[in-house]
Structure 1
């Protein structure tokens, strides 16, 4: 549907609010006619429609975010037609969200709102997004990565905590050494391994990518006693598939045992991306390894290692003659 041409006419009203209401109704009527006579949905109706149409093809995590938005965070916009959600409405709703949430949460909230209404634009229910609201500035905080020197001890601590759920021990190794998402570990299957070429091709991924991932020989050796011709790689003791968050308790226990903070299933994925970058792997290769559609997503996974800056500073100081003698005397 093409954007409507600008039409200027008089409402014959002196009250601005009444005139705006008339203009909005006229706009809604025009959009309805252009939409084949279907009325413009409210935000709640659009939300329900998205869940019906898109949820079967979206990741469980993404669907949970959309469901939470509709259940808790519409902030008075549920019964508002999406064509009437203007900049002032969005900013007021965001202010209500900020009363109980931080800036990062408010930006996530705005992304979901944009996703829903842009979906309506793609379906030609609206000609364009009816508001213009920028994201809030957020201070980036460094995220945890698992130190390479602590990997063996951390794996051992997970094994101790997961003595009754051995699938967790396998899962954390797949998350770190293959960069698999939690959902990809839960659905991993033995038939997707190529033991001759030492590769693993995820058959069920978030972005539907299917690149063959090289397997570290150490991981192949670890998996050898568990190998099967088919079926899920990890299952619960009763044979059922694991659910979301299944490794959370064991990872927390391992963090406490090794005095490491902030390691989660997703930070294991971030750790392997950061380590690969520090080892000199090109960003495009890391992007393919993590199966990201946009390289900017990959860049967001990489944490800055200031050790490289320290080494560069030392080289600069040496060339500039700014080094200190070992006995502490001035050079």
Structure 2
């Protein structure tokens, strides 16, 4: 049994939808109109069920509930602070929402607890949320000095400080290389090791400056802030984001009923690659090439709704700079889920 304070536990929040103080951070949902258009055919004019697997501040959820008066929405988030703020934002939809403190790879368990065997829509808006970036004390932003935390759920788990001060140099370099795609990973890890031998690294400003100094001057002159990739890598490691995503996307696809749709917003290539591979696996016709028609048990289960990954438009980026790196993929289930191992 999962401990009550484990963020992976399925724990529908029993507290009433009483609004806390009004949030002071700005939240502009990324690609909102495009997401609404892609999901609408699966949600319109029926008592549909959708899962917002990354609820955040509830911008996408609010728009979906407003657009579809018969929609029931399940909102998942590992961050209790985000759930509190979304509870305020979605208070007027109280009878149509279930807010759950859970990481998105627990979706099957959440749906089972809610007695929802299948859903009509799923949305993932990956990466760090607006609130987590804007609140300096969370430690996600290299441009603001704060404790080295980076946990999406601050109630549990290792912090970024634990990683940079506790990992051996080879392990730290691996994290920076694999999750940050940082070509100077070993140099940065060695610089961190020299620094922590004197005293532990405890603040984002210290780390950002150390990373900047560890990277060759010629490289620092282009490509954005030199600490960007290191901070991304640490955030992914602290929150085990890619491990959770590898489990969550296939589980979400399995939960879709025929005609159901999924949309995923990714913000870096590692996320997008996982989504692309999961979609491609079910969108491929596995009928032997020498047969003239698709076999019922070998045909594709998904129809891709986007051509590759869609970026934001120039107008969207101008209105919302955080959309600059987004890549959107969407798909529709066209056949019931089946075990591909058995049909191989």
TM-score by length of 2: 0.25
**Higher strand content, 1 or 2:** 2
User: Greater share of helix residues, 1 or 2?
Assistant: 1
Instruction: Say which structure, 1 or 2, has more relative contact order (CA 8 Å, 6+ apart).
Output: 2
Q: TM-score, normalised by structure 1?
A: 0.26
